[in-house]
Structure 1
Amino acid sequence: MAQIECGRGHLYDPDKYPTCPYCKTNQQITVAAAGRTAPVRTTAVNPTAPVPVTAPQPTAPLSRTPVTAPQKTQPPKGYTPVTEDSRTQPPRGYAPTPVTAPSKTMPPRGYAPQPAPEPTAPPRGLGVSVAQAGKTVAMMQQEMGFDPVVGWLVCVEGPSRGKSYTVRGGINAIGRSERMDITVTGDMTISAENHARISYSDRNNRFNLIPGEGRNIVYLNGEELFSPMPLKAYDLIDFGQTKLLFVPLCGERFRWEDKEGDRHGSAT
């Protein structure tokens, strides 16, 4: 007997099967007339309706917990995060020892440091060696055994007005420095060293005023001094804000005698 087609396109023998055996077993067959593979359905389907094509569904996870981004491990209770600004706290009662420069070894108890001995200045009138004085010894000092006074300078105008300065044999340097033979303080217009010099020659029994290396000009009785000039009694030396009056001791009426008493004259 010829085969018949069911409503779903299956061909079967109606003598052997009262209904389509393919529909009962959910099988699919190739329908040559349709030219395509029909899907297996358990329910009646309109053969003319188009088969919807849907996007593939993702595989469901095994567990019911949704898959999310990785979660960070939670720290235990009481945990304090360590940051860059936090510092380790020292234990209670701890006192840090300050870092200081290397300390010197402490002397034993009862030890008293001895001060460095100060150089003893020789009394005026006594001869000193070249090493002690730090300068060349004058001829009169070498021959007489002491450094004699040969005259004075008296400040009659300026910051040191009323003060006197001793002039001795040989070269006397004038300036503000304490290393000078004649130290004039208080007047900043006077150079620290060698602003001017006064000389006394015991051989010729004569005084001279010699210009030094000062910035300001030296005046003798109001005239500029650029070369050595003889210095006489009551001559006025002017430099800066200071004026000095010269008072000689040695001269025509007095000369120092040496040890033998045959070179230097005496008072007449």
Structure 2
Amino acid sequence: MAQIECGRGHLYDPDKYPTCPYCNTNQQITVAAAGRTAPIRVTGTNRTAPVSVTAPQRTAPLSGVSVTAPQKTAPLSGISVTAPSKTMPPRGYNPNGAPVQPEEAPAPAFPHGASVTSAGKTVGMMQEKMGFDPVVGWLVCTEGPSRGKSYTIRGGINSIGRSDRMDITITGDRTISAENHARLSYSDKNNRFNLLPGDGRNIVYLNGEEVFSPMPLKAYDQIDFGATKLLFIPLCGEQFTWTPEPGEDGHGTV
């Protein structure tokens, strides 16, 4: 005959007992179906605390990973977060012992100058002839953030911009392009200066006129671009040139 459960969790046969026999006798039973222990039998007024029922460990509802287990993989890539970080060996490292010497690219042959490997530039005609790169003139800032500063002009083509890679670096004026906003050239062969437009978006002005092609420069011409104005001061010209004499090294002639 099937057993029934009383209000206190006791199972008994109703055909044998009209009421729960355990409730009347305070007898201890184990309710196996409920997975827990019934209260210990009470004797008089001395009672014992019920036995703690430890709940089984549960897992997260979605992933199935134990909620107490530490996460060991990255959520997206799956790469272990505990894996040691590795770095590439330094360039030139040889695991067999001897250091590897980096290959040096051969210096390209230039028709008008030798390669300067330290600066990555080509030696100009004047520098190759004289052994150094002489000054041929200056630009002086008369208006703008760099007002009062001077800039040295060398032989050949001088690039002008904000970048420190330029031959003439003008800082502080954000309206000047970082590279090749304008160019200024000096030809030792013809002993003359020219202003050339660069790659900047702002127009270069020479004495207030737009420059769209090479324009000859003369003393105290004003070059205007961005918020900066520059005054051109030549050294070389009709009165002086750095052309070396035979047997001399770097001596100019007047």
Fold conserved (TM > 0.5)? yes
Which residue in 2 is equivalent to 1:212?
198
Which residue in 1 is equivalent to 2:124?
138
| 1:244 matched to 2:244 | no
How many residues align? The count is: 177
Which residue in 1 is equivalent to 2:52?
78
> Equivalents in 2 of 1:82, 1:150: separation in Å?
90
Q: Rg: which structure is higher?
A: 1
> Equivalents in 2 of 1:138, 1:65: separation in Å?
120
Is this contact kept in 2: 1:144–1:259, CA < 8 A? no
Instruction: List aligned pairs for 1:1-268, cutoff 5 A.
Output: 62-64=15-17, 72-76=33-37, 77-82=51-56, 84=58, 102=84, 129-258=115-244, 260=246, 266-268=252-254
Q: CA deviation at 1:193?
A: 0.5
- Per the alignment, do residues 229 and 210 of structure 1 end up closer, same or farther by CA in structure 2, a change over 3 Å counting? same
Letter in 1 for 2:160: I
> Equivalents in 2 of 1:188, 1:87: separation in Å?
56
Structure 1 gaps, min length 5:
1-59, 90-98, 106-126
Is this contact kept in 1: 2:244–2:252, CA < 8 A? no
Structure 1-normalised TM-score? 0.58
- Per the alignment, do residues 147 and 65 of structure 1 end up closer, same or farther by CA in structure 2, a change over 3 Å counting? farther
Is this contact kept in 2: 1:217–1:239, CA < 8 A? yes
Which residue in 2 is equivalent to 1:54?
none
Is this contact kept in 2: 1:155–1:162, CA < 8 A? yes
Q: More deviation in 170-179 or 75-84? A: 75-84
Letter in 2 for 1:73: A
Query: Tell me, what secondary structure is at the counterpart of 1:252?
Result: coil
> Equivalents in 2 of 1:155, 1:239: separation in Å?
11
> Equivalents in 2 of 1:185, 1:220: separation in Å?
20
> Equivalents in 2 of 1:231, 1:101: separation in Å?
66
**1:102-151 Cα shifts (integer Å, max 9, x gaps):** 2679xxxxxxxxxxxxxxxxxxxxx9843222122111111111001000
> Equivalents in 2 of 1:214, 1:164: separation in Å?
22
**1:142-179 Cα shifts (integer Å, max 9, x gaps):** 11110010000000000000000000000000000000
Query: Tell me, what secondary structure is at the counterpart of 1:256?
Result: coil
Is this contact kept in 2: 1:173–1:182, CA < 8 A? yes
Is this contact kept in 2: 1:254–1:265, CA < 8 A? no
> Equivalents in 1 of 2:175, 2:182: separation in Å?
13
Q: CA deviation at 1:82?
A: 2.6
Which residue in 2 is equivalent to 1:53?
none
Is this contact kept in 2: 1:255–1:265, CA < 8 A? no
Letter in 2 for 1:82: P
Q: CA deviation at 1:262?
A: 7.9
Structure 2-normalised TM-score? 0.61
Letter in 1 for 2:17: R
Is this contact kept in 1: 2:127–2:133, CA < 8 A? yes
- Per the alignment, do residues 149 and 78 of structure 1 end up closer, same or farther by CA in structure 2, a change over 3 Å counting? same
Deviation beyond 4 Å, 4+ runs, structure 1: 85-89, 261-265
Is this contact kept in 2: 1:143–1:259, CA < 8 A? no
Is this contact kept in 2: 1:257–1:263, CA < 8 A? no
